[in-house]
Amino acid sequence: TRQATRIDGKAEAERLRLRIGGEAARLLALHGAAPGLAVVLVGEDPASQVYVRNKGIATRAAGLVSVEHRLPVSASQADVLALVATLNADPAIDGILVQLPLPQQISAKAVIEAIDPAKDVDGFHPVNTGRLWTDGGGLVPCTPQGCMLLLAGVRERLAGLNALVVGRSSIVGKPMAALLLAADCTVTVAHSRSRDLPALARQADILVAAVGRPAMIRGDWIRPGATVIDVGVNRIDAGQGKTRLVGDVAYDEAVPVAGAITPVPGGVGPMTIACLLRNTMIAAGRRRGWGELD
């Protein structure tokens, strides 16, 4: 039987990180400085601590400068805004990432809007959102950016293809839809209020799932030959007191139908951090007049 191409996000991310590492070494030799990324963690959320640690490791491994700032869970919004202002003004810092979620006394909106858009490597500032939906040229959110890079690896031409994005969050679904539209796809965005999701999915040459519901998208929803990008990360019970990660797509059902599919784990996930480093390079190139780095 036919089998979908397994899109190896881990290998793709490794290649991207190596390329960024080479570029960082070149910049260091040329300018005596490497791009710098500051990550701000407020509080002690265990998942956030893991993310921040992994970001720091990946940043240093690529030869970029990583700075971590930890504030107590009791920090005030003014404390966070003061730190952001310091980082905005620091010429050695090219990228600022404030790890979400923030403790409830702090408005994520206020903090995101305080970040210099030129240093907003998460791409969440309204200026970058606006650029994404208009003529581009801003910093693009990491996860959808990674999805587009994976798509480019298996699809030579996206123009005219029907794309369905399931999920409309500001960090994945909406920016994903904007990128597919900019790539000349015919884009549909589905969400919890959409009717007849299976029928919408069967029209899709490209199906991006960003929902957060394990194996919600079934094999018989998938158009034969479609490219399936599974952003979902769901921890499920695997029996015997163990858990495992699965995506939003029923992978085993999808494999005989799809043309290509990302696994979970090992698909979109690794690309997200690689794209954070990529955004830091791009931001550094623009801010420091080092040219348009990629």
168 lines the binding site for ligand NDP (CB under 6 A): yes
Q: Considering only CA atoms, which of 166, 159, 197 is closest in space to residue 180? A: 159
The counts of H helices and E strands in the chain are: 10, 11
Catalytic annotation on 122? yes
Catalytic annotation on 120? no
Distance (Å, rounded) from C-alpha 183 to C-alpha 11? 24
* Given 7, 52, 58, 231, the residue binding ligand NDP (CB under 6 A): 231
* Given 171, 177, 187, 254, the residue binding ligand NDP (CB under 6 A): 171
Q: Which residues pair with 294 in a beta bridge?
A: none
Catalytic annotation on 105? no
Closest contact distance (angstroms) between CB of 131 and ligand NDP is 20
Distance (Å, rounded) from C-alpha 65 to C-alpha 62? 9
- 28 backbone dihedrals φ, ψ, rounded to 5°: -65, -45
* Given 16, 39, 80, 210, the residue binding ligand NDP (CB under 6 A): 210
DSSP label of 173 = H
217 lines the binding site for ligand NDP (CB under 6 A): no
* Residue 269 and residue 9 in contact, taking contact as beta carbons nearer than 8 Å: yes
| Residue 256: count of CB within 10 angstroms of its CB | 13
* Given 212, 253, 266, 288, the residue binding ligand NDP (CB under 6 A): 212
Consult the annotation and say whether 166 binds a ligand.
no
* Given 71, 172, 187, 261, the residue binding ligand NDP (CB under 6 A): 172
192 lines the binding site for ligand NDP (CB under 6 A): yes
167 lines the binding site for ligand NDP (CB under 6 A): yes
* Residue 121 and residue 238 in contact, taking contact as beta carbons nearer than 8 Å: no
Catalytic residue among 122, 205, 230, 248: 122
| Residue 248: count of CB within 10 angstroms of its CB | 25
- For ligand NDP (CB under 6 A), the number of binding residues is 25
Consult the annotation and say whether 169 binds a ligand.
yes
> Which residues carry a binding-site annotation for NADP(+)?
167-169, 233
Q: Which residues bind ligand NDP (CB under 6 A)?
A: 143, 166-169, 171-173, 190-194, 197, 210-213, 231-234, 268-269, 272
